[in-house]
A and B are shown apart, each in its own frame.
Chain A
C-alpha cells in the first residue's frame, strides 16, 4: 500500500475541495476588487474550508455530538462575526 492509497477516501476528496476552494477565493478576491459582498463571500469560503479541515482532517465528523457541534458553531460564528465587522464597521 502506498501513501496515495491512504488518501483515496473522504479526506482525499476534502483536500481536492479545499484546493479548489482556495483557488476560487483567490480568483474572487484577486480579480474583483474588495467590495463588501466579495469580502463576505471570501470569508464564507474560508469558513467552509475550516469546517472541512475539522470534519475530515481532525476527524470531528465522527466525534461526539457536543464536540462536533462546538466546532460547527465556531465556524459559523467566526464567519458571521468577521463578516459583520467588515460590513458594518
Chain B
C-alpha cells in the first residue's frame, strides 16, 4: 500500500481534468452507440460481421505495445538515460504510425466493399467513432514527437538523476519537475488513446 506522503499525481492536475473530460465524452458516445444499436440490432450485427476483426485485434496489440514503449520512455528519462528514452518513444511513434496505416487500410477495404459511412447507421457510427479516435491518435503522435525532442535534450535526463539531485542538494520542486510533469501528461494522453481503443474494439468488433 502506498502511503499518503508518497502518492503523487502523474503530470499536471489540469491534465487530468482534460483526460477525464475526454473519457466522459467518449463514454457518452459509447452509450449512444448502444442505444442506437437497440433500435436496429440486426443492421448493427450485419455491419459488425463485415468488419475486419483481425485488423482490429492487431491494432489493439499495436497500441498496447506502443503504450508500453511510452512507459519505458518515462522510466529511462527518470534514470537519466536520454538515448534509451529516445529509442523507446521512437518505437512508440512507429507503432502509432502502424495503427494509423492499419486503420486507413481497413477504411479502404470497407469503402471498396460498399460499406461507406452512408451504407447504414452502423457504418455511420463506426466511421464517426473510429474517426474521432483516429484524430486522437494523430494528436497523440504529435505529442509523442514532442516527447522525442525532449528525450534528446540529454541535459534534462542528466538533471533528473538521483545522484545529481542529491549532489546539488536540490529539492524536487523546480523547473525540471515542471517539465517532467508535462512529459508525464503527454505520456498519459497517449495511454488515453490506448484506453479509448480498448473499449472501442469490443464495442464495434465483438459486441454487435
Q: Which of A's residues lie within 8 Å of B, judged by CB? A: 1-3, 6-7, 9, 11-12, 15, 18-19, 22-23, 25-26, 28-30, 34, 38-39, 42-43, 45-46, 49-50, 53-54, 56-65, 67, 70, 74, 78, 81-82, 85-86, 89
Q: What are the interface flags for B190-208 relative to A under an 8 Å C-beta threshold, 1 for contact and 0 otherwise?
A: 0110110011011101111
Q: Residues of A contacting B192 with CB < 8 Å? A: 58
- The chain B residue with its CB closest to the CB of A25 is B202
B27 lies within 8 A of A78 (CB): yes
- 7 residue pairs bridging A and B, Cβ less than 8 Å apart: A1-B81, A18-B64, A19-B61, A53-B194, A58-B192, A63-B10, A64-B8
A53 lies within 8 A of B75 (CB): no
A6/B88 contact (C-beta < 8 A), A1-B81, A67-B9 known: yes
A46/B202 contact (C-beta < 8 A), A61-B2, A86-B207, A89-B34 known: yes
Interface class of chain A by DSSP: helix
Knowing that A11-B71, A56-B71, A74-B20 are A-B contacts, what are 4 other residue pairs whose CB atoms are under 8 Å apart, sorted by A's residue number? A22-B64, A42-B207, A85-B35, A86-B34
Docked complex Cα distance between A7 and B9 (Å) = 21
Q: Residues of B contacting A82 with CB < 8 Å? A: 30-31, 34, 203
B34 lies within 8 A of A85 (CB): yes
Q: Which 10 A-B pairs have the closest CB atoms?
A: A29-B206, A89-B38, A85-B34, A6-B72, A6-B75, A59-B10, A39-B207, A11-B71, A57-B191, A15-B68
Interface class of chain B by DSSP: helix
- The interface size bin for chain B is 35 or more
B188 at the interface (CB under 8 A from A): yes
Identify which of residues 94-149 in chain B touch chain A, using a CB-to-CB cut-off of 8 Å.
none
Q: Residues of B contacting A54 with CB < 8 Å? A: 191, 195
A7 lies within 8 A of B71 (CB): yes
